[in-house]
Structure 1
Amino acid sequence: MEVREAGTEFDCGLKMGGKVEVILNTQLKQQKDPKEAITIAISARALFDMEEEHELFLSEGRETFETFQLTNEDVPLKEGIVYPFIKAVQMVNARLLARNPEEKQLFEIILLSTHSAEGGVRIINSVNYYGLEISKFCFLNGSDPSKYLHSNNVKLFLSACESAVCNALKKDIPAALMLHQQYQTAQEHLKVAFDGDSVLFSDETDVVFKEKGLDAVIKYEKDREHVPIGEGPLKEFAMILGEMKKKFSPENDPINTYLVTARSGNDMGIRAIKTLRNWGLKIDEAFFMAGSPKGPLLSHIQPHIFFDDNARNIKGARAYGIPSAFVPSGCE
């Protein structure tokens, strides 16, 4: 589960209680329909590069951090790891509305910060500076973000706070840890890549492999070839993307989805393919890596986000500048 690098600190300043401040973004031309929208929640530190500011918070405390933010509130924050994904999501919204101006099933983005609204003006100003379509800002004053995800019907939560991600996953909310990194992504389309086991699928096969080894897991998969694999934490979000893709003709589809799994195609690929078929989920391209490094392939795809539960795969993808979303398993 460990993905942190030397010197990396994930302390998010979470505490019990805390006043929650919610600010609607009145600069948006059109607010999304909360009953129909696909809500994605992101943390401020995932959307923007706030590593220096976070280091100040850890070393000098909340008051010094907020004073710094107030002093620099007109200085836009730098783009963070989730930024290109959000811009691509906005592109999909624009394409949906161009196709049907009455479309209601749109992506809605809400931003969560564990800090106060007083120190959050710089975040709001940065959102407006980049023209990001954030519907509302939730300043939690140290409260655990996962407490507010269900009430907002969040379908995906991306955060730079490990404990917040684990808390969300324990409440069955799709979530992933996004760490600051250098990145490169495709300019066209929304490209999303998923690992298989413990991400798109459940961890049942991983458990057998860890407990009994490769030969046993191959037999396990062959014996259950016609039994769909259990659902993983990102299955629902993948299904949502699949439904959105159906709104477009193949030649005009702005969404590309990928399965990049460590499974081998010959021994363990058939059950995975049949599971996707059973779900009615069409993936644009599926790659069965048979344990090979995923980084080189992902560098060719250049997804806006890559979900994986394996720290080695995350590290390998990051080395190629791929925005990597760690889905921790076994959160305590």
Structure 2
Amino acid sequence: MAVTLDGKLVIAISSRALFDLDESNQIFEEKGEEEYTKFQIEHEDELLSCGVAFPLIKRLLALRDPKTKQNMVEIILISKNDPNTGLRVFNSIEQHCLTITRAAFTRGRSPYKYLKAFNADLFLSANPEDVKLALQNGYASATIFTGDYLKKSEKMDETMDEIRIAFDGDAVIFSDEAERINVEMGLEEFKKNEAEKSEIPLTPGPFKGFLTALNKLQDTYKHYDKRPIRTALVTARNAPAHKRAIKTLRAWGIGVDEAFFLGGLDKASILESFDPHIFFDDQHTYCLNASKVVPTGHVPSGVKNDE
């Protein structure tokens, strides 16, 4: 009988989201593929430092079904390296004791078309174009900010016993249908529209499926005292627009553990307190500020990202 990943949360991740590859990527950008290949081979036995998404991935890999003790998450390395230069990444995976055994190496080509083959619930990458292509083809995807937070991510509290994931609402969990009214007609029309349609669920956004998959994982632990996953909605909405967001999640039969309706306030302070392993937002400005205090993924979806 063929091996399948059915029933597991599947996350595809690029090597630059998992490890700090800024030095070698700079060589590729400035000197080309030949020098990059030479550098990676010469350093393939040197341990790569943790990237921004490393703490999240490490903790997800540790999740076990409380009854069967089987692992519940599959991480797939999706890399634009070729197998030759990708060996350094796999060597570091082994040295960091990560149970990642499956990979796709695509040598410079965008890997988005292989997400279907792995049935991926989420794609994390440091390459904005790859993320955009994946989103356009229906996959929850985010561009990892590899800047200010990188050093702090290596020092995340190893005693932390839960995984925390935070989401923006419009254009992330929900579609951008309401946000378009805000952009095109102004805040007051947005509030009026959301109050009038508070009983009408929003259409799903690109991360609705991923949040649903997380809810299924959480359900596995519902009869146990220890619940290792905690989610939060962190949105610029406030009253009265909060009602539609809450009732949409209720209509979908999914939920979040915490919700923050900030009415346009900067999200960084709340995020620093919630301290998620990752935060997803569609607006670049919010992402930029958030990335200084928590691991952050930009979701280039919706009206705020229209070119």
Whole-Å separation in 1 of the counterparts to 2:27 and 2:145: 17
**2:171 pairs with 1:198:** yes
RMSD: 1.6
1:259/1:285 contact within 8 Å kept: yes
**2:192 pairs with 1:219:** yes
* Aligned mate of 1:175, from 129, 141, 144: 141
Whole-Å separation in 1 of the counterparts to 2:120 and 2:164: 20
1:110/1:136 contact within 8 Å kept: yes
Whole-Å separation in 2 of the counterparts to 1:179 and 1:32: 34
**2:286 pairs with 1:313:** yes
2:12/2:78 contact within 8 Å kept: yes
2:80/2:105 contact within 8 Å kept: yes
Letter in 1 for 2:295: P
Letter in 2 for 1:132: L
Q: Which residue of 2 aligns with 1:326?
A: 298
**2:257 pairs with 1:284:** yes
* Aligned mate of 1:101, from 45, 52, 68: 68
Report the alpha carbon displacement of residue 107 of structure 1 after superposing the two structures with TM.
1.1
* Aligned mate of 1:116, from 82, 104, 111: 82
Tell me the secondary structure at the aligned position of residue 240 of structure 2.
helix
**2:233 pairs with 1:233:** no
Letter in 1 for 2:46: V
Q: Which residue of 1 aligns with 2:243?
A: 270
Tell me the secondary structure at the aligned position of residue 137 of structure 1.
strand
Report the alpha carbon displacement of residue 319 of structure 1 after superposing the two structures with TM.
2.0
1:76/1:125 contact within 8 Å kept: yes
Aligned length: 295
2:282/2:300 contact within 8 Å kept: yes
Tell me the secondary structure at the aligned position of residue 134 of structure 1.
coil
The C-alpha deviation readout for 1:23-50, integer Å capped at 9, x for no partner, is xxxxxxxx97323322110000110000
Cα pair distance change 1:147/1:110, threshold 3 Å: same
Give the alignment's TM-score, normalised by structure 2.
0.92
* Aligned mate of 1:161, from 107, 127, 141: 127
1:108/1:135 contact within 8 Å kept: no
**Segment drifting more, 185-194 vs 239-248:** 185-194
Whole-Å separation in 2 of the counterparts to 1:161 and 1:263: 29
Tell me the secondary structure at the aligned position of residue 116 of structure 2.
coil
Letter in 1 for 2:23: E
1:158/1:178 contact within 8 Å kept: yes
Q: Which residue of 1 aligns with 2:11?
A: 40
Tell me the secondary structure at the aligned position of residue 74 of structure 2.
strand
Off by >6 Å, runs of 4+ in structure 1: none
2:236/2:261 contact within 8 Å kept: yes
2:10/2:122 contact within 8 Å kept: yes
The C-alpha deviation readout for 1:96-130, integer Å capped at 9, x for no partner, is 2xx122657x2110001111111111111000000
Q: Which residue of 2 aligns with 1:5?
A: none
Report the alpha carbon displacement of residue 316 of structure 1 after superposing the two structures with TM.
1.4
Q: Which residue of 2 aligns with 1:17?
A: none
* Aligned mate of 1:88, from 46, 55, 59: 59
Letter in 2 for 1:251: D
Letter in 1 for 2:226: N
Report the alpha carbon displacement of residue 318 of structure 1 after superposing the two structures with TM.
1.4
1:166/1:331 contact within 8 Å kept: no
Report the alpha carbon displacement of residue 273 of structure 1 after superposing the two structures with TM.
0.7
* Aligned mate of 2:183, from 201, 210, 228: 210
Report the alpha carbon displacement of residue 252 of structure 1 after superposing the two structures with TM.
1.1
1:46/1:160 contact within 8 Å kept: yes
Q: Which residue of 2 aligns with 1:141?
A: 107
Letter in 2 for 1:254: P
**2:36 pairs with 1:62:** no
